[in-house]
């Protein structure tokens, strides 16, 4: 009996050793404790998001490309802190640039390539060098959750070629007990595959150790080329409830997956910056917070635009601070990333019905909150667009007349009246000039980046006020969303900035002002 037990135990241990040992979430969190991207945080005050096909063109094709971006880098940051006619951003997030069959490029055919619309690996290396010369960091979009239908892995999967038959969740029959929601499952070659976003974007089997290994080598490929960080697309979709058998702890598995990827990436470059798209409220995002250096603050985006449209400021700060505290409690090194909109959302100017005063106030809000804010290309011009995806990704309006350096990959529909970069650049009161001033201010007063934040109750709905403070200084920021001017009791604060010309203790309707404690 005893012998049998021992034999059983030996067999059990042998069995275990054949499956890859995977560290638990808790073990990974412990191991990654203290891991951060503080160097990135110190050097990067603001990130600029570029949708490459729509930004700038360099050749006979009308589509935007990497050389076009290189040609325009001096407009984003010329590397000279004494000149102020550039935007002043410190990092660029590029939407996907690898070979793909679509214009959005989220269906990747080869992860270690540059799409021919955009250039070659040599153009990419030139972009890295040109960014380096100007002190601009580069963040690449990594589409881990799914590949293109035409990706060689998926084609081999469909043909049952080993080991690729396990690269995607391989389901022969959809048992309704295990897969109660089959709306995102598709059939090809007598088997099923899962594709949440589009039937042309089949989703990988994240449970397969070989797939995880593929991803490690893809990350290494780009890190070796000199990129500074990654933006993880659709991070919560890696394990999606309808994709794995019922009762699979998908959220917990997602966190484990990303912790493992993070551990690997940090072993290659311990200062790599990892930001995730977890399109969820703070309540869910806090579960993901230990896995990343940063996440986009979707609650902030929704709340700011809602507040500007309604003029109702009550509860905004309480909700913001609660979300912030909850996330910092699980990851003290977490870097929040406020933003207004991205390539998937109706452009902020459209959501604000083209109201320039509100667009400027949105910029003042975005650039006076903690963390690393993101600007979606064209927001600084007040570009519009809503509804279908391509409406939100119109060509950047460089000039008054169409020209060869514009990325005219599609007709301009929503931005026929958008004032061009050229015209706004020459106008000190333009939205572009407002963005430039605020970005410069954020650099001049690091307290706006790193300081604490607390509500400053003005006892007036329609007035949003908060303090940004640290041991160096104490700033008071006031946004007036009323339709009349508002008199402030200054209490020892001196005005250092205002978005209009008015008395020091008056904030005009739609205006924003910053005060410094004497
Ligand atoms: Ca081109
Ligand atoms: Ca400059
Ligand atoms: Ca998935």
Q: pLDDT for 82-112, tens place per residue?
A: 998 999 999 999 999 999 999 999 999 999 9
Determine the length of the chain.
Answer: 518
Mean pLDDT over 413-424 rounds to 98
Query: Distance from the CA of 404 to the center of ligand 1, in angstroms?
Result: 9
For residue 292, is pLDDT > 50? yes
Residue from 242, 234, 238, 232 nearest 252 by CA: 238
Q: Is 224 assigned a catalytic role?
A: no
For residue 12, is pLDDT > 50? no
pLDDT band at 500, cuts 50/70/90? confident
CB 445 within 8 A of CB 475: yes
Query: Distance from the CA of 145 to the center of ligand 3, in angstroms?
Result: 5
pLDDT band at 5, cuts 50/70/90? low
Pairing verdict, β 137-142 and 486-487: unpaired
- Report the percent of the chain where pLDDT is more than 70: 96
CA pair distance 272, 112, nearest whole angstrom: 19
Query: Distance from the CA of 387 to the center of ligand 3, in angstroms?
Result: 25
Average model confidence (pLDDT) across the chain = 95
Per residue in 231-267, pLDDT tens?
A: 999 999 999 999 999 999 999 999 999 999 999 999 9
Cβ neighbours of 138 (radius 10 Å): 20
Per residue in 57-78, pLDDT tens?
A: 999 999 999 999 999 999 999 9
CA pair distance 96, 277, nearest whole angstrom: 14
Per residue in 459-469, pLDDT tens?
A: 999 999 999 99
Sort residue 70 into left (φ over 0), alpha (ψ -120 to 50) or beta.
Answer: alpha
CB 420 within 8 A of CB 385: no
Per residue in 337-360, pLDDT tens?
A: 999 999 999 999 999 999 999 999
- Report the percent of the chain where pLDDT is more than 90: 93
CA pair distance 201, 194, nearest whole angstrom: 9
Judged by its nearest atom, the ligand closest to the C-alpha of residue 88 is 2
Judged by its nearest atom, the ligand closest to the C-alpha of residue 63 is 1
Residue from 24, 138, 149, 156 nearest 91 by CA: 138
C-alpha count within 13 angstroms, C-beta hemisphere, residue 380:
31
CA dihedral (124, 126, 128, 134) in degrees, to 10, reads: -150
According to DSSP, the residues that pair with 465 across neighbouring strands are 478
Q: Is 233 assigned a catalytic role?
A: yes
- What's residue 1's pLDDT? 47
Judged by its nearest atom, the ligand closest to the C-alpha of residue 241 is 3
Judged by its nearest atom, the ligand closest to the C-alpha of residue 254 is 3
According to DSSP, the residues that pair with 79 across neighbouring strands are none
Three-state secondary structure along 179-239? CCCCCCEEEECCEEEECCCCCCCCEECCCCHHHHHHHHHHHHHHHHCCCCEEEECCHHHCC
- What's residue 503's pLDDT? 87
Burial 143-181 (b: 16+ CB within 10 A, else e): bbbbbbbebebbeebbeeeeebeebbbebeeeeeeebee
Judged by its nearest atom, the ligand closest to the C-alpha of residue 239 is 3
Query: Distance from the CA of 185 to the center of ligand 2, in angstroms?
Result: 50
Residues less than 5 Å from ion ligand 3, measured at CB: 145, 203, 237, 240, 243
For residue 21, is pLDDT > 90? no
The active-site residue, picked from 65, 277, 299, 474, is 277
For residue 16, is pLDDT > 60? no
Query: Distance from the CA of 341 to the center of ligand 3, in angstroms?
Result: 24
For residue 18, is pLDDT > 80? no
For residue 385, is pLDDT > 50? yes
- What's residue 15's pLDDT? 41
Query: Distance from the CA of 343 to the center of ligand 1, in angstroms?
Result: 20
CB 502 within 8 A of CB 508: yes
For residue 513, is pLDDT > 60? yes
Query: Distance from the CA of 241 to the center of ligand 3, in angstroms?
Result: 9
CA pair distance 324, 303, nearest whole angstrom: 14
Query: Distance from the CA of 82 to the center of ligand 2, in angstroms?
Result: 6
For residue 20, is pLDDT > 80? no
- Backbone φ, ψ for residue 405 (5° rounding): -85, 0
Query: Distance from the CA of 117 to the center of ligand 1, in angstroms?
Result: 6
CA pair distance 238, 291, nearest whole angstrom: 13
pLDDT band at 17, cuts 50/70/90? very low
Instruction: Please confirm whether the linkage preceding 90 is cis (ω < 30° from 0).
Output: no
Write the DSSP string, 262-285.
Answer: HHHHHHH-TT-EEEE---S-HHHH
The active-site residue, picked from 78, 107, 141, 233, is 233
pLDDT band at 502, cuts 50/70/90? confident
């Amino acid at each position: 009996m005893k012998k049998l037990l021992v034999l059983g135990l030996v067999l059990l241990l042998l069995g275990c050793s054949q499956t890859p040992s995977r560290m638990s979430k808790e073990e990974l969190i412990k191991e990654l404790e203290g891991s951060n991207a503080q160097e990135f945080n110190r050097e990067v005050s603001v990130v600029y998001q570029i949708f490459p096909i729509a930004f700038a063109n360099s050749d006979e094709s009308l589509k935007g490309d990497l050389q076009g971006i290189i040609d325009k880098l001096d407009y984003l940051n010329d590397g000279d802190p004494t000149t102020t006619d550039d935007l002043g951003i410190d990092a660029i997030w590029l939407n996907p640039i690898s070979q793909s069959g679509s214009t959005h490029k989220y269906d990747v055919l080869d992860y270690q390539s540059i799409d021919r619309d955009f250039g070659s690996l040599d153009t990419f290396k030139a972009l890295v060098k040109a960014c380096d010369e100007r002190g601009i960091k580069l963040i690449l979009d990594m589409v881990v959750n799914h590949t293109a239908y035409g990706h060689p892995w998926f084609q081999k999967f469909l043909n049952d070629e080993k080991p690729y038959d396990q690269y995607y969740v391989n389901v022969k029959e959809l048992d309704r007990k295990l897969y109660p929601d089959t709306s995102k499952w598709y059939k090809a070659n007598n088997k099923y595959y899962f594709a949440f976003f589009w039937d042309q974007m089949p989703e990988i089997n994240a449970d397969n150790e070989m797939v995880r290994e593929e991803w490690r080598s893809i990350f290494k490929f780009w890190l070796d080329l000199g990129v500074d960080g990654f933006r993880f697309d659709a991070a919560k979709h890696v394990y999606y409830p309808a994709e794995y058998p019922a009762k699979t702890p998908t959220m917990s598995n997602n966190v484990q997956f990303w912790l493992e990827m993070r551990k690997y990436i940090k072993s290659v470059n311990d200062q790599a910056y990892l930001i995730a798209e977890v399109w969820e409220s703070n309540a869910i995002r806090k579960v993901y917070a230990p896995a990343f250096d940063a996440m986009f603050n979707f609650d902030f985006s929704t709340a700011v635009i809602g507040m500007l449209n309604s003029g109702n400021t009550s509860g905004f700060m309480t909700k913001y601070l609660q979300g912030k505290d909850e996330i910092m409690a699980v990851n003290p090194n977490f870097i929040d990333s406020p933003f207004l909109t991205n390539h998937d959302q109706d452009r902020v100017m459209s959501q604000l019905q083209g109201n320039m005063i509100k667009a400027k106030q949105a910029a003042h809000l975005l650039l006076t909150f903690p963390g690393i804010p993101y600007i979606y290309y064209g927001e600084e011009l007040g570009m519009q667009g809503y509804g279908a995806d391509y409406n939100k990704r119109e060509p950047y309006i460089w000039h008054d007349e169409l020209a060869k350096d514009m990325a005219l990959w599609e007709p301009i529909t929503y931005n026929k009246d958008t004032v061009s970069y050229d015209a706004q650049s020459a106008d000190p009161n333009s939205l572009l000039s407002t963005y430039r001033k605020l970005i410069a201010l954020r650099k001049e007063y690091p307290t706006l980046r790193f300081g604490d934040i607390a509500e400053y109750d003005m006892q007036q709905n329609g007035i949003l006020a908060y303090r940004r403070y640290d041991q160096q200084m104490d700033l008071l920021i006031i946004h007036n969303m009323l339709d009349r001017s508002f008199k402030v009791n200054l209490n020892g604060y001196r005005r250092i900035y205002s978005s209009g010309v008015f008395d020091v203790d008056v904030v005009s309707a739609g205006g924003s002002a910053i005060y410094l404690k004497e």
